[in-house]
Every structure is written in C-alpha cells, then in structure tokens.
Amino acid sequence: MPAKAADPVLTYKLNPRPPALKLPALACDSHVHVFGPATRFAYAPTRNFTPVDAPKETLFALHRKLGIGRCVIVQSAIHGFDNRVVEDAMAAGQGRYLGVALVPANVADAELRRLAAAGFRAVRFNFMKHLAATASMDDILALTHRLKAAGLHLQVHFESSMVHSLAAALSRSAVPVVIDHIGRVDAALGAGHADFAALHALLKNPLFLVKVSGIDRIDPHPPYAHGVALARTLVQSYPDRCLWGTDWPHPNHTHVPDDGELVDALAGIAPTPKLLEQLLVHNPQRLYRFTE
C-alpha cells in the first residue's frame, strides 16, 4: 500500500551525542540507508511510509561526528529498484562509501556488471512481513551464480523464525551470504532460544556472515543490554565473519535510537581492541574490497 504523501516520519536524531568510544582508523559502518532528497530522488509509490529526507550530506556529517571512515549504503525499499540515490552517495564518498543494491531476480547480467563497476558489492532480498517479497528462493539461488560472475554477494533480511526454513536453501548459494541484524531474533529470549541457536549454528558454515547491527531492533530498551550480549556472543564465536552498522536513519522502528549510544555499545560487543578492529576494519575490508 502506498504511503500517504503528507506527514513524513523523522526516523533519526538530528543531534546525536558524541560517542565516548574512539573507533580505529578506517572503521566501517556496514549498514546505513539514504533517503532523498525526494525532490531529486523520488520515493517509490510502493513504500510503506514516507520518511523525512536523510540525504548523503547528513550521513557524511554523522560519520565525521562518530569517527567513522568507511561505509556501506544499503538501498532501501523507500526507493525501490531505483538505486540512483545510493550511486550518487557512493560517487561523493570517493571510494570510502560502497553499496548494496535492490534488484529483481531477473535483473540483466549487464546491469549487475554496471552496479559492480559503480561500487555495489551485493544485492539484498527481504523476507520481512512489512516489506513485500520480490523473488522466490529458487529465483534468488539461481541469481547467485550470476552474482558470482559479477563479483557480488548476497544479503538477506528475514524474520527470526525463518532461519529454520531458509538455512538449507541459503547454504546452496554460489556466493557468500550476509544475514542482517542478528537475524532479527528477540534478544529478551536469550542465547538459548531456538532462533538464535539456529543462527549461531548456521554461522559454522563459512559461507555465512552476520551483521551485528540492530541491537536496538532486537532489544527496544536502551542501553540494549540483551542485544549487546547476543552480538558479543557472535563476535567472540565468529570474529572473522561479523560486521557492524548503525542502520541509520533507522526506518520502520519502534523508537529513535541515538547513534552515539550505538557506537558506545561497541565496547560491550567487541570488548578488546583486537576484536573491535577485526569487526570494524578487517572484516569489512575483506568482504567489501574498499580501495580508499
């Protein structure tokens, strides 16, 4: 259902507090979005809400404040399959900002090659109730062979209970698979819950990586102690296959988190300098292949 054009939603704090934690050089925010400006990059008519513009200039200023030197921008359903808003931000980011695209499963090989040349490193598919599915798993698995040829990987976003049904299929992917937001588990249920246990077991397969972003999505109560605990479990168990991001500007959320607080939570997620640098610098570099 198209969103109402009026009454846009502010999803991010205009003045987040400066974090106390000093991040390592070239720290990467591996999951953000950009919205608009709508006067230049139209919002998709199929979007489920209308956001306040969150353009690249605001994102760049936020990263300067947080001490972040690299970034991966994920195309949002707000803009649908029109990836120009991310391409524009990547061009302005001068090699320090790369992207994840949204595409239909029948996207042409030439378009995949063009996206890769523009700085995209993956394509993303959603399996969330609030976002319309755009492809079947069979179609996505077939696409992964073409992604491999283009030098792209697969990123997936799913409801926590779907880890049980999707695990076997995703294990047949021809390219690495990045799982968003700690698999969207309910952090209050703890590490022993079946959904988190299945996610943890799935990561034993070196094909998979996980974003320990979204502690504020799986635990809606700042300072997100339950979310931090699960993220730390994954980072300590799989230090070479975890990525982190703020998820700015926080669309489809229960509340508006403070990005400075999310950065400071890294002290609990990656509690040693070695783990922190692995999470923020080495893992993103290996997967996304930054050139700057």
Residues with catalytic function: 247
User: Greatest CA separation found in the chain?
Assistant: 47
Burial class of residue 204 (count of CB atoms within 10 Å of its CB; 0-12, 13-18, 19+): exposed
What are the CB-based long-range contacts (under 8 Å, 24+) for 55-62? Answer: 56/88, 56/89, 56/92, 56/93, 58/249, 59/32, 59/34, 59/89, 59/248, 60/92, 60/93, 62/16, 62/248, 62/259
Rounded Cα–Cα distance for residues 49 and 9 (Å): 8
User: Which structure tokens are listed for 267?
Assistant: 């002290």
Going by their DSSP bridges, the two strands 120-127 and 242-243 should be labelled as unpaired
